[in-house]
Amino acid sequence: MTCKWPSGLTSLPSSIQIIPVIAQIIDINCHSRLAIISSLFAIILASIIAGIIYLFSLLCPSPSRYFGIYLEDVDVWPYIMVASAIFFLDSHGKPLLSRNYRGDVPVSAVEHFPRLLMEAEESSSYEPCITFEGINYMYITHNNIYVLALSRRNSNAASVLLFLHHIIDVFTDYFKEVQEESIRDNFVIIYELLDEMMDFGHPQITDPKILQEYITQESHELDISGRNSSVVTSAISWRPEGIHYKKNELFLDVVESLNILMSSDGKVIRSEIQGKVNVNAYLSGMPILKLGLNESERKKIASQANGNTSTTGANHSTSRRKKDINLEDVKFHQCVQLEEFEKDRTISFVPPDGKFELMNYRIRNFNAKPMFLVTADVDVKSHSRVLVSVKATSQYRKRSSGTAEFFIPVPPDADSPKFKADVGTVVYAPEKNAIVWRIKQFGGGQSYRMTAQLQLSSIDNTEDRARYSNQPVYVKFEVPYFAVSGLQVRYLKITEPVLKYQSFPWVRYLTKSGDDYAIRLPKA
């Protein structure tokens, strides 16, 4: 860190140069005695001031810390706001769009953010600023989107967070609604806005009215309230006329993916269900379908009828065993008649031909038993071998059965494996540093055990072994004929007013693991 004084104030001799400047203020050519005395007084006063400045420069080599002027290193000025990069992430921490302004932070640094956020949630410390490996992560959330700023500088965090809020305000003024879909649809204009709002990491223009004078490109707005849903859904552009099948069938699949993080003692730390309703239609003519879900409460949902119709930001509650299920971020296919749904909760639609996704939803912090419990004991014997003992228990209903895979971490230098399992097959996957235990038919309410013994290399690789000990057990599974949320189809009616044929609807359920079903191991 270096500091500069103004030219001419770096040393005592040169500082005396200020004396003629002060002396010129007074007319020393005046013959009056008072003018001469005043001139002498000014010279003495200037000498004293120059001496004080010189002494201060010796005692304080970094005077810019006190005055905040003539800076070469921005870090010494605590009120400067600098952002190296701006990221927009979805609810899972996956980047939607980014802009790197300074190039001093690697783009790969954003990959650490989901884990850092998870650790913050587990410790109940919801701080908007996180520091990791010399990089500051400052973020806000809006409509299940993370707006993240990265910086290596000691930036003013409050100013950075305020700037992120300004970004949301500007985007809202342009797009009406800021969510994943609007960001993807307007990425070109978003890049232009980000370039105008920030230059080399420093804020520039954040007023929407001023920005509209520079950036006039037409954006794709998501009109969530002012549009008449009956007009939008009346034109059946998604289904051609003249479709004919010998046998009219429709297959409807309710698929729910469960993501969960459990502690070593079986307590749920975080849980989420991502559900979708898939339809495969082989129907003739222009059929009208009416679908009813179980025990829907009469709650209004803000609906959206642009492309994939969405009710993002609203909750749809259904009842399961007298308990409410909060369906969040519900999105419908454009074929759904939103007017009918808002009136009596009936999902009425004319389906496209073939496969399509009718709706998707999400349930966070779902209060239910995990599908599988896993207890594992990994014991390293004298740094030469490792013993693994695993017990897996299914917690779904007894008449159900599914497939399951368990990935148990082992040290990277393990070899010569020996296995013994009550059921299923066990293999060693060295590329994953894990033992994989596969069970094709895992009945509900059942428990099975597996033991393994592996040899370790004679070299004590303490660092790699410590890293492996922090890895959880991952589970992959599929359980058919079962929806973990309790969501059920009460009725599915198919009518074709012209052809009036007999149809055969089929409804299936499937619960499977998401990308992150993990159970932590006990500390060694």
Q: What are 35-80's pLDDT values in tens digits?
A: 667 777 778 887 888 777 766 655 554 443 344 333 333 343 344 6
% pLDDT > 70, the chain: 74
Q: Are residues 207 and 94 in the same domain?
A: yes
Q: Coil, helix or strand for 189?
A: helix
Last residue of a domain, one of 48, 74, 100: 74
CB 19 within 8 A of CB 43: yes
Rounded distance between C-alpha atoms, residue 21 and residue 39, angstroms: 12
Between 427 and 216, residue with greater pLDDT: 427
The arithmetic mean of pLDDT across residues 354-362, rounded, is: 92
In a domain, 503, yes or no: no
Q: Are residues 210 and 237 in the same domain?
A: no
- Partners of 149 in the β-ladder: 86, 138
For residue 495, give Cα distances in angstroms to 253, 283, 288, 347, 498.
20, 10, 5, 14, 9
pLDDT at position 289 is 95
Give the pLDDT band of residue 467 (cuts 50, 70, 90).
low
Q: Are residues 208 and 100 in the same domain?
A: yes
Between 23 and 134, residue with greater pLDDT: 134
The arithmetic mean of pLDDT across residues 362-366, rounded, is: 82
Q: Are residues 117 and 243 in the same domain?
A: no
Last residue of a domain, one of 310, 342, 366: 366
pLDDT at position 158 is 87
Last residue of a domain, one of 366, 401, 422: 366
Rounded distance between C-alpha atoms, residue 219 and residue 199, angstroms: 23
If we measure between CA atoms, which residue out of 180, 99, 111 comes closest to residue 145?
A: 180
pLDDT at position 496 is 94
In a domain, 223, yes or no: no
Q: Are residues 338 and 377 in the same domain?
A: no
In a domain, 43, yes or no: yes
pLDDT for 373-420, tens place per residue? 999 887 777 667 888 899 999 999 888 999 999 999 888 878 888 999
First-to-last CA distance in the chain?
45
In a domain, 2, yes or no: no
pLDDT at position 49 is 82
Rounded distance between C-alpha atoms, residue 387 and residue 451, angstroms: 7
pLDDT at 231 over 60: no
Average per-residue pLDDT in the chain?
A: 78
pLDDT at position 433 is 86
Of 11-15, 35-39, 252-256, minimum mean pLDDT range: 11-15
Count of CB atoms within 10 A of residue 165's CB? 13
In a domain, 502, yes or no: no
Give the pLDDT band of residue 275 (cuts 50, 70, 90).
very high
pLDDT at position 224 is 42
The arithmetic mean of pLDDT across residues 205-214, rounded, is: 79
In a domain, 6, yes or no: no
Give the pLDDT band of residue 476 (cuts 50, 70, 90).
very high
Chain centroid, CA 407 distance in Å: 25
Rounded distance between C-alpha atoms, residue 346 and residue 296, angstroms: 9
pLDDT for 481-491, tens place per residue? 989 988 889 99
Between 127 and 62, residue with greater pLDDT: 127
Q: How many domains does the chain have?
A: 4
pLDDT at position 23 is 47
In a domain, 7, yes or no: no
Out of 35-39, 84-88, 359-363, give the one with best mean pLDDT.
84-88
pLDDT at 173 over 90: no
pLDDT at position 443 is 93
- Residue 112's domain spans which residues? 78-214
* Residue 286 token pair: 């222009």
Q: Are residues 262 and 328 in the same domain?
A: yes
Q: Are residues 83 and 36 in the same domain?
A: no
pLDDT at position 302 is 31
Of 34-43, 96-105, 159-168, 306-315, minimum mean pLDDT range: 306-315
pLDDT at position 241 is 85
Gyration radius from the chain CA atoms? 34
* Residue 429 token pair: 């996957």
- Domain of 296, CATH number, reads 2.60.40.1170
Q: Are residues 385 and 316 in the same domain?
A: no
Q: Are residues 207 and 139 in the same domain?
A: yes
Between 108 and 81, residue with greater pLDDT: 108
Q: Are residues 417 and 468 in the same domain?
A: yes
CB 477 within 8 A of CB 373: no
For residue 401, give Cα distances in angstroms to 391, 440, 509.
18, 9, 13
The arithmetic mean of pLDDT across residues 443-449, rounded, is: 94
Q: Coil, helix or strand for 279?
A: strand
CB 328 within 8 A of CB 143: no
Q: Are residues 84 and 204 in the same domain?
A: yes
Give the pLDDT band of residue 469 (cuts 50, 70, 90).
low
Quick one: CA dihedral 120, 121, 123, 127, positive or negative? positive
CB 393 within 8 A of CB 447: yes
Between 81 and 291, residue with greater pLDDT: 291
The secondary structure of 105-147 as a DSSP string is S-GGGGGGHHHHHHHHHHTT---SEEEETTEEEEEEEETTEEE
pLDDT at 248 over 70: yes
In a domain, 445, yes or no: yes
Out of 121-130, 313-322, 457-466, give the one with best mean pLDDT.
121-130
pLDDT at position 252 is 96
Give the pLDDT band of residue 314 (cuts 50, 70, 90).
very low
pLDDT at position 489 is 92
The arithmetic mean of pLDDT across residues 84-93, rounded, is: 89
Give the pLDDT band of residue 235 (cuts 50, 70, 90).
low
Q: Are residues 388 and 430 in the same domain?
A: yes
